[in-house]
Structure 1
Amino acid sequence: MLAQLALKPFDSSQHLFEIKWDGTRCLAFIEGGRVRLDNRRFVDIAPVFPELGGLRDLPPNSVLDGEIIVLEEGKPSFPRLQERIHTRSPTRAALLAQVHPATFMAFDLLYVQDRSILAQPLLERRARLEDMIRCFASPLLVFSDGVLEHGKHYFSQVKRLGFEGIMAKQIDSPYLVGRRSVYWQKIKVGQMQEFAIIGFLQRENKPAISALLLGECTRGTLMYRGRVGSGFTEKDREELFQQLIEAPPLAHPPKGGPKAAQWRQTALRCRVDYMDKTTSGKLRAPVFKGLVT
């Protein structure tokens, strides 16, 4: 079950509000004395998180929905998570499990001992999940708690603490497998910044951009901060293409750009909303918010 995007936080007596964990979404299948951890591409990622094999002691033939996170200084660290996910060596996976252990943040329960509870209301499913986790009593598995009704205040607290955002879930909703539904909504905490437009990617066989290439001067050096490909109207894409195609080439493009980049020397700047930056300084989940005039 997937969430729709909500533009701002709200209060509602019919909703539960939870932290939106900055991790990787995962279904945990407890079956035959082992654990299968399927990500959103239906790939079993259990081998790169060997410590989560301990979840096999949960009630058999159960399915939990949640997020795998890696904590650093008490908060989810996306770079640490990426390091774990991209590990291919079992030896290194075992080492990282000791150095940067993962936690399964569970927020829903779909099956209990081979019996579907998908049609039960959200609060009933979560009550059963909380009981299961309490009996399991392991730091590997944590119940993703939340609050009822007071979404605006909860969002402000989550933002102050530096988390990714919140989820708003209708308390009487069933679980809709594989569907994006208004029953679940996500409200993200964004960061806004201005960047130099230093090039573009062109749509195939069309006089329009597919993305803008963003730059930022740091200590006198132009750094590539990634591409932004969402937030544009079709008119924006065509007009930006006409402006940029006529601009002179950028004499010294920064490192790290895409092969199909068309680098340009311009005075154009734009505002971009984004979640955060990677360890290499590139933007995560950027959205174009308009030109700086």
Structure 2
Amino acid sequence: MRPMLATLTETVPAGPEWVHEVKWDGMRILAEAKGGGLTLTSRSGRDVTVAFPELVPLADLYDDMLLDGEVVSFADGRPSFAALADRMHVADARKAARAAVARPVTFVVFDVVRLLGQDLTAQPWSARRALLEQLDLEGPRWQVPATHDDGEGLLAATAEQGLEGIVSKRRSSPYSPGRRSPDWLKRPHRDTLSVVVGGWRPETGGNRLGAVLVGRPGDGGWEFVGRVGAGLAGRAGASLLTRLRPLERADSPFVSPVPREDAVGTIWVEPEVVLDVASLGRGGGGRLRQPSHQRVRTDLTAADLMETSDG
């Protein structure tokens, strides 16, 4: 099963039919407890159970339960995706156990999809939420966050606290696995898009990564939307370059023309690596305005991005 996805919105819906939650800057996870065991699955369908051993005791709470939520790493009381990034790809159980002690994560649970053999996806959000609150899931490494009736107030509060944004949910909405639904609306504080990397340019006079050429889903393939250089200094650029080098190809993967000033000196790559970039929206020709690299989306594949057309 894939998790239900939220649709990007510029306005916060109001009225009694909507409820609002904090948007956590973490890793989306489906947690399945069954027969005394626990399986953690990422948004892309990858089994990441070994990476988060501190969540294994969830399996002892109920014989059969499927939860939806975010694995979050808190630093100084705030979610830190940079801190979480060190945990996401740990495949060695001993290394994961050490990391769980040094930098434990918290599973922020916001939905229950199945309980004791009963499929709850057809139930309205309000019924699922009432059941979730009855499960007594407050624990050392997991929690059920509060919900709020005042969306605009929550948006302002999360901005003051430096949080990512909010998600608004229609109280009557069923759970639609793998679907991007207008019944869930996300309103981040920054205009962030997921993009695919189609090429990279070295720094002037050097071999280090200076910028990447990125694209978004379009008619017939990937549409070029700009060049991203900000946010790629130091370790971020070096780590990204390690991912890109094995993907080199002879020609551009974009279906739309790439301006000569961007194409010259570019090393083209297979469009497989997905990034989140922040920008000031789109400018002429659909290009991102002042884009900056935020993070590599290891939980999101290029195929996922093409299917949803919104990261």
* Fold similarity call, TM over 0.5: yes
SS of aligned partner of 1:272: coil
How far is the alpha carbon of 1:8 from its aligned partner?
2.8
Is 1:6 the counterpart of 2:9? The answer is yes
How far is the alpha carbon of 1:57 from its aligned partner?
1.5
Q: Extract structure 1 runs of 4+ deviating beyond 4 A.
A: 197-203, 223-226, 242-245, 273-278
Is 1:33 the counterpart of 2:51? The answer is no
Q: Which residue of 2 aligns with 1:72?
A: 75
1:38-77 superposed matches below 5 A: 38-77=41-80
Q: Name the CA distance, whole Å, in 1 between partners of 2:143 and 2:167.
A: 17
Query: Contact 2:50 / 2:90 at 8 angstroms: preserved in 1?
Result: no
Consecutive unaligned residues in structure 1, runs of 5 or more: 227-236, 250-257, 262-268, 279-293
Q: Name the CA distance, whole Å, in 1 between partners of 2:237 and 2:226.
A: 11
Q: Which residue of 1 aligns with 2:308?
A: none
Q: Name the CA distance, whole Å, in 2 between partners of 1:152 and 1:107.
A: 20
Q: Name the CA distance, whole Å, in 1 between partners of 2:223 and 2:60.
A: 52
Structure 1 window deviating more from structure 2 (5-14 vs 116-125): it is 5-14
1:208-247 superposed matches below 5 A: 210-215=224-229, 238=257, 241-242=259-260, 244=262
How far is the alpha carbon of 1:199 from its aligned partner?
7.6
Q: Name the CA distance, whole Å, in 2 between partners of 1:202 and 1:153.
A: 35
CA distance 1:209–1:126, shift in 2 (3 Å): closer
How far is the alpha carbon of 1:276 from its aligned partner?
4.6
Name the % identity. Answer: 30
1:1-293 superposed matches below 5 A: 1-133=4-136, 136-148=137-149, 150-190=150-190, 200=213, 210-215=224-229, 238=257, 241-242=259-260, 244=262, 259-260=267-268, 271-272=289-290, 276=294
Query: Contact 2:215 / 2:226 at 8 angstroms: preserved in 1?
Result: no
How far is the alpha carbon of 1:277 from its aligned partner?
6.4
SS of aligned partner of 1:111: strand
CA RMSD across the alignment: 3.6
How far is the alpha carbon of 1:200 from its aligned partner?
4.5
Consecutive unaligned residues in structure 2, runs of 5 or more: 193-209, 241-255, 270-286, 297-311
Post-superposition CA distance 1:193-251 (Å, at most 9, x none) = xxxx9785799xx9x97253334599xx9x9799xxxxxxxxxx64x615545x8x6xx
Query: Contact 1:107 / 1:143 at 8 angstroms: preserved in 2?
Result: yes
SS of aligned partner of 1:65: strand
Answer 1 or 2: which has greater strand percent.
1
TM-score after normalising by structure 2:
0.67
SS of aligned partner of 2:259: helix
Q: Name the CA distance, whole Å, in 2 between partners of 1:217 and 1:147.
A: 34
Q: Name the CA distance, whole Å, in 1 between partners of 2:143 and 2:128.
A: 15
TM-score after normalising by structure 1:
0.71
* Structure number with bigger Rg: 1
Query: Contact 1:159 / 1:189 at 8 angstroms: preserved in 2?
Result: yes
User: What is the total number of aligned residue pairs between the two structures?
Assistant: 241
SS of aligned partner of 1:53: helix
SS of aligned partner of 2:16: strand
Query: Contact 2:50 / 2:92 at 8 angstroms: preserved in 1?
Result: no
CA distance 1:156–1:276, shift in 2 (3 Å): farther
CA distance 1:63–1:199, shift in 2 (3 Å): closer
